[in-house]
């Protein structure tokens, strides 16, 4: 009986093993079939975004068009800019940041890190075959967005391009993955109507293709919408972004919704001369200028406020109300970008840089010989229509002088008023909070800063051609509170545009405001003593004057300064 049980048990074990073997073989076959499917599924599954500590820093570059030095609340201005003021509290305000004297010139230097002649914008509005005067980004530089794109960044822009109108010079060919660009220097803020005779319809492209302005949209609102849509399109792929918010506000024509300018109604009835004095004192109180700073004489083009009729004064005050409304709206939209970054968890890993592209704008083309006839035929300057889509208004040299306090002159000049612009930097890598830095910086320093932040090595050649290294220097060590200044007393910064020129070396400044350029017209100022450029000391310091003249001669030859004939007009 025991033997039967043993045989039965052996039989049961054998049958069970055979059964289990069949099951294992069958299931293993299924597993083998499923492995490729699992691999495919896993490869298609969206990878989680990198944590802010491991992802490369994002960069948000915001440029205001023709914003004056004294406008922002954090700089002492009386226009409501709460979002930019908060950004200033979280970062650093720079009181001696220098751009170029005109829009396109600054943009060429900004996106190249080099001098304007090296970058191809020796004369805004002039397109030639002469090196330095191509009228677009030259092949002597590697464009900032292109290098960041090659480093794995998403690159987006919306707003004013002004660096070429041909397909070859479009943002889409300079490294921007997505772009909505106004190709020329200015446009109607409410529609696609042109403001220049050669462009009766303003030229826009999206991603390199011709497009039109959407109806019932306002420029600053729409550019912000577009940038947020670009960011949303690749939000969770783990790649960093470089965003260029190239706003066209508060550039003329002064146009904005009534709800933005109404809050300033009556605020500027005291006139531009009084406003200039108020700005001087508020800048001192904010710590942006020395308590001893004084105002230079007004530009000869400025009419005394008291010489205006009551009707003229009303119209002048409305100009400033509209301008303030545009700045107010600009701040609102910058706040929208910041809120988006916070809501999506990207704010802590983003370096935010805000600047103006030049000094306050004094052009008033509605009454000019070159642009006036077209503008007067297609727009109105009547008081009742001011600020609307059919209105063309500029605030002119009178209000530009107020916004440029305490500096001499305004946009278009190589004086401090034309080039000393607001700069605020906050966010990733900025250690100081609420600090004011008075070190001399230029717009050429920003591209090298972004390269260091992103770990990008500037190449010796780009697209098969040798390129020049940036003339600016990274300011990351300054942002990290490791240094107080970047450029020492031997650093030479120079610029020429349409005969107006400057050379800066330490606190010494060689400057010419006359055109055409005559070396004998250069003046010498010691900016460590005064910022108003009123005490010409070239007779007191002849050796220093000659030293800087030699520096000028060397620099101008190195970049290829020439004097081709520009287009008519005062610049855009």
Q: What is the CATH number of the domain that holds 513?
A: 3.30.1120.10
Query: What are residue 389's DSSP bridge partners?
Result: none
Instruction: Report the pLDDT value the prediction gives residue 564, as an integer from 0 to 100.
Output: 73
**39 within some domain:** no
* E strands, 54-197, in order: 58-64, 91-98, 154-160, 178-182, 193-196
- The answer to whether residues 561 and 117 touch, using CB atoms and an 8 Å cutoff, is yes
**Residue 244 parent element (H or E):** strand 241-246
**Residue-level pLDDT at 563:** 83
Q: CB–CB of 101/404 below 8 Å?
A: no
Residue (of 362, 356, 369, 366) closest to 299 by Cα position: 362
Residues 547 and 460 in one domain: no
For the chain, what percentages of helix, strand and coil (3-state, to nearest 5) are there?
Answer: 40, 15, 45
483 and 512 share one domain: no
Q: How far apart are CA 352 and CA 205, in angstroms?
A: 26
pLDDT of residue 4: 39
The answer, as to whether pTM is greater than 0.95, is no
Residue 470 and residue 530 share a domain: no
Predicted pLDDT at 367: 94
Q: Of 427, 457, 487, which residue sits at a domain end? A: 487
pLDDT at 10: 44
pLDDT score at 236: 85
Domain end call among 440, 462, 487: 487
To the query of whether residue 162 is one of the catalytic residues in this protein, the response is yes
Q: Is 144 exposed, middle or buried, given 0-12, 13-18 or 19+ CB atoms closer than 10 A?
A: buried
How high is the pLDDT of residue 24? 42
Q: How many domains does the chain have?
A: 2
Give the contacts of 425 (CB within 8 A, at least 6 positions apart): 91, 92, 94, 351, 352, 353, 354, 479
Distance CA 47, CA 232 (A): 16
Q: How far apart are CA 379 and CA 5, in angstroms?
A: 111
pLDDT at site 38: 37
Q: Which helix (H) or strand (E) holds 497?
A: strand 492-497
DSSP 31: H
Residues 352 and 300 in one domain: yes
Where are the extended beta strands (E) located within 6-114? 58-64, 91-98
Active site residue 103: yes
SS3 30: helix
**Do residues 474 and 509 both lie within one domain?**
no
Which residue in the list 98, 103, 136, 487 is annotated as catalytic? 103
For the chain (572 residues), the mean pLDDT of every run of 10, in chain order, is 42 42 44 40 41 76 98 97 98 98 98 98 93 97 98 98 97 98 97 94 98 96 98 92 98 98 98 98 97 96 97 98 98 98 97 98 95 97 98 97 97 98 97 95 98 97 97 97 94 96 98 89 95 96 98 97 66 48
State the angle between helix axes of 310-343 and 82-90 in degrees (0 to 180), rounded to the nearest 10. Answer: 50
Within this chain, do residues 256 and 378 fall inside the same structural domain, yes or no?
yes
How high is the pLDDT of residue 567?
Answer: 55
The span from the CA of 510 to the CA of 492, in Å, is 11
**Measured distance CA(407)–CA(460) in Å, rounded:** 39
Please name the residue that has the structure tokens 């083309």. 365
120 is written with which tokens?
A: 């191809």
Residues 71 and 205 reside in one and the same domain: yes
DSSP type of residue 380: B
- Is residue 159 classed exposed, middle or buried when 0-12, 13-18 and 19+ CB atoms within 10 A define those classes? buried
Is 113 within a domain?
yes
Catalytic residue among 98, 117, 162, 497: 162
In sign, the C-alpha dihedral spanning 331, 337, 340, 341 is negative
Q: End of a domain among 469, 487, 505?
A: 487
Does residue 31 form part of some domain? no
Residue range(s) defining the domain that contains residue 75: 59-487
């Amino acid at each position: 009986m025991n033997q039967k049980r043993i045989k039965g048990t052996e039989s049961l074990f054998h049958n069970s093993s055979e059964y289990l073997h069949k099951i294992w073989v069958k299931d293993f076959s299924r597993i083998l079939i499923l492995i490729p499917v699992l691999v495919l599924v896993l490869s298609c599954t969206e990878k989680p975004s990198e944590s802010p500590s491991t992802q490369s820093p994002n960069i948000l570059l915001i440029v205001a068009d023709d914003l004056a030095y004294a406008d922002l609340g954090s700089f002492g201005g009386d226009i409501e800019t709460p979002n930019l003021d908060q950004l200033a509290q979280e970062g650093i305000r720079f009181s001696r940041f220098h751009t170029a004297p005109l829009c396109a010139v600054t943009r060429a230097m900004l996106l190249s890190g080099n001098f304007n002649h090296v970058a191809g914008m020796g004369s805004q509005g002039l397109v030639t075959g002469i090196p330095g005067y191509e009228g677009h980004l030259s092949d002597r530089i590697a464009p900032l967005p292109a290098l960041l794109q090659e480093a794995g960044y998403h690159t987006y822009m919306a707003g004013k391009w002004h660096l070429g109108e041909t397909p070859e010079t479009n943002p889409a060919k300079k490294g921007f993955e997505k772009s909505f660009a106004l190709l020329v220097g200015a446009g109607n803020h409410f529609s696609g109507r042109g403001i220049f005779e050669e462009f009766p319809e303003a030229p826009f492209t999206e991603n390199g293709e011709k497009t039109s302005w959407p109806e019932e949209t306002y420029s600053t609102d729409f550019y912000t919408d577009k940038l947020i849509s670009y960011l949303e399109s690749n939000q969770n792929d783990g790649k960093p972004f470089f965003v260029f918010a190239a706003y066209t506000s508060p550039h003329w024509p002064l146009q904005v919704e009534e709800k933005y300018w109404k809050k300033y109604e009556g605020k500027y009835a005291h006139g531009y001369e009084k406003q200039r004095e108020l700005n001087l004192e508020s800048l001192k109180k904010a710590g942006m200028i020395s308590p001893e700073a004084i105002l230079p004489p007004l530009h000869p083009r400025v009419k005394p406020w008291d010489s205006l009729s009551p009707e003229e004064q009303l119209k002048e005050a409305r100009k400033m109300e509209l301008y303030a409304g545009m700045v107010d709206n600009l701040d609102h939209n910058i706040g929208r970008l910041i809120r988006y970054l916070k809501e999506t968890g990207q704010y802590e890993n983003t370096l935010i840089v805000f600047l103006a592209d030049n000094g306050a704008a004094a052009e008033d083309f509605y009454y000019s010989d070159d642009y006036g006839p077209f503008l007067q035929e297609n727009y109105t300057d009547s008081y009742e229509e001011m600020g609307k889509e059919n209105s063309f208004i500029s605030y002119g040299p009178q209000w530009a002088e107020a916004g440029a306090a305490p500096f001499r002159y305004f946009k278009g000049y190589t004086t401090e008023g034309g080039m000393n612009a607001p700069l605020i930097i906050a966010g990733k890598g900025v250690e100081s909070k609420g600090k004011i830095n008075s070190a001399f910086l230029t717009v050429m320093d920003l591209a090298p800063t972004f390269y260091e932040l992103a770990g990008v090595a500037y190449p010796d050649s780009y697209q098969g051609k040798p390129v020049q290294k940036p003339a600016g220097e990274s300011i990351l060590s300054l942002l990290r509170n490791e240094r107080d200044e970047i450029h020492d007393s031997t650093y030479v910064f120079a610029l020429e545009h349409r005969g107006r020129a400057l050379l800066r070396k330490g606190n010494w400044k060689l400057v010419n405001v006359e055109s055409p350029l005559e070396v004998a017209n250069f003046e010498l100022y010691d900016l460590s003593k005064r910022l108003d450029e009123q005490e010409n000391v070239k007779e007191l310091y002849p050796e220093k004057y000659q030293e800087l003249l030699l520096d000028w001669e060397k620099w101008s030859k190195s970049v290829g300064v020439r004097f081709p004939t520009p287009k008519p007009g005062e610049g855009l």
